[in-house]
A = this chain, B = another copy of it.
Amino acid sequence: MSSPAVAYARQNQPRFLDELKALLRIPSISTLPEHKGDCRHAAEVLAADLSRIGMQNVRLIETGGHPLVYADWLHATGKPTVLVYGHYDVQPPDPLDEWLSPPFEPTERDGNIYARGAVDDKGQVCVQMKALESLLAANGSLPLNVRVILEGEEEVGGEGIAAFVASKAPELKADFALVSDTELFAPGLPTLCVGLRGMIYTELEVRGARTDLHSGMYGGAAPNPFIALAQILARLKDEEGHILIPGFYDDIIPPSPEELAAWRSLPFDEEHYRITEVGSRQLVGEGGFSVLERTWARPTVDVHGIPGGFTGAGAKTVIPAKAVAKVSMRLVPGMTPAKSFALYKSYVERIAPAGVDIEVRLIHSGDPCLIPVDNPYIQAATLALHEVWGKETVFIRSGGSIPIVGDFARHLGLPSVMMGFGLPDDNLHAPNEKFHLKNFELGIESVIRFLEEVGR
């Protein structure tokens, strides 16, 4: 099917890329207070762009944290309304010394653009924005009603948009959501994501002595909170990778035999994945489950860092008064953050070694979710993707968490179409994050054709 919007997108691709680069230069790191102004600046740039392309009612919506960006175009009478969602905030770039080019100076190499946020999620937000621009510029109108809502706190728990969604704000009234924050299962393979893990992110603080002590004077008598913490963390999983928190697995709803069969037919080789993506001596995790099951349909425990104590160069002979572990758990359908956190907290309190006090804090959480695949939006997406990519769409899950998808379902009754264009080796949250330029182009065409199909 010939589409003037697709033709417009192809003609304007170099400018689109320049505009993506401008957005990538803004270090909108939501977790670091010193980048608060950059987050607002990114929101303002996106709002200005939405106005320029012809979206209406463009504005920033203030939250307790970084602002939301809102826009709409509601003149397609009788057509469905899509809620287009993305996020403009990014992860911190550390460790900086492992980047081959500076994280906030987007650089093209080997058909990719490298920068923090290239794929997660500024590149994919740009895919959405450029699709809307192409449709408006080529046709003077959109094929369906569109609301855009962009947030700046996805990487830190999304409190602001969660509250906004929970309030059932009229700005969010729609028939379905388009969420572009996921990836293709393999290069060139059109993919829709239909399941996400949830998560709880916690801090586990262990306190020993009242103040830091000299390890010579007091070693052998004063409790060492790092050793106590290690003793606790070592008891979260057994040597086969099974989580030892009592009851943690009880409520899991396993994938259906059909879904498991479909996963087995995906082009996936565990050894190739180990070598090319993970690069570790061997893979780990629960025995008896494939890698796709372990990363899509099984819960996890991970430790992200252990602040406190002496971390400088050289030697300081101190028994620190306290240690903190940043611990998160991925949750799968059937599990809830509240129950999972309660089980974790009570287990950790029970196994804490003698001599120390512990405190367990919940930093943020998100529900796991499963998307039904029998709705017209998923079907339109499948059709559009087939046309642009020339292949059948595969349905996968993601091990990551996009809490907003659960919120859209629970509070607004919206099904989400998770159509994303990242690749498995795009270094999400890591040094040398990238976005494949071809996927940027075909992503824009896919979204154009998807919206056209839904509006037909």
Residues of A within 8 A of B (CB): 31-33, 91-92, 94-95, 98, 155-157, 197, 199, 201, 208-224, 226-227, 229-237, 239, 273, 277-286, 291, 294-295, 298, 300-320, 323, 325-326, 328, 330, 353-357, 363-364, 398-401, 424, 427-432
Contact = CB atoms under 8 A, between A and B. Distances in A.
Nearest to A219: B300
A238 to B, nearest CB: 10
A233 B234 CA distance: 9
A317 B399 contact: no
A329 to B, nearest CB: 9
Given A211-B427, A305-B311, A220 B330 contact: yes
A418 to B, nearest CB: 13
Given A216-B398, A221-B285, A208 B314 contact: no
Contact of A98 (B31, B211, B219): B211
Contacts of A356: 280-281
A227 B218 contact: no
25 contacts: A31-B312, A31-B313, A157-B315, A199-B216, A201-B317, A209-B280, A211-B427, A211-B430, A211-B432, A212-B431, A214-B428, A216-B401, A217-B400, A218-B295, A221-B294, A227-B234, A227-B236, A230-B303, A283-B355, A302-B317, A302-B319, A306-B309, A317-B429, A318-B429, A318-B430
Q: Which of A157, A211, A304, A428 has the most CB of B within 10 A?
A: A304
B316 A311 contact: no
A236 B231 CA distance: 10
Contacts of A316: 31, 91-92, 155, 304-305, 326, 429
A220 B398 contact: no
Q: Which 9 A-B pairs have the closest CB atoms?
A: A210-B279, A216-B400, A305-B309, A234-B234, A230-B233, A307-B311, A226-B303, A220-B294, A219-B300
Contacts of A227: 233-234, 236-237, 301-303
Contact of A330 (B31, B216, B363): B216
A222 B317 contact: no
Task: Please give the count of copies of this chain that the complex contains.
Answer: 2
Given A213-B430, A304-B309, A315-B364, 6 more contacts: A31-B316, A98-B211, A197-B216, A222-B280, A227-B237, A304-B310
A279 B101 CA distance: 49
Nearest to A202: B315
Contacts of A328: 215, 315, 317
Contacts of A286: 220
A270 B120 CA distance: 56
A404 to B, nearest CB: 14
Contacts of A282: 223, 354-355
A279 to B, nearest CB: 3
Contacts of A355: 280-284
B311 A221 contact: no
A314 to B, nearest CB: 4
A222 B306 contact: no
B428 A217 contact: yes
Contacts of A231: 230, 233-234
Nearest to A430: B212
Contacts of A432: 211
A304 B201 contact: no
Contacts of A220: 285-286, 291, 294-295, 298, 300, 330, 399
Contacts of A224: 284, 302-303
A399 B309 contact: no
Contacts of A317: 155, 199, 201, 302, 304, 328, 400-401, 429
Nearest to A307: B311
A401 B123 CA distance: 56
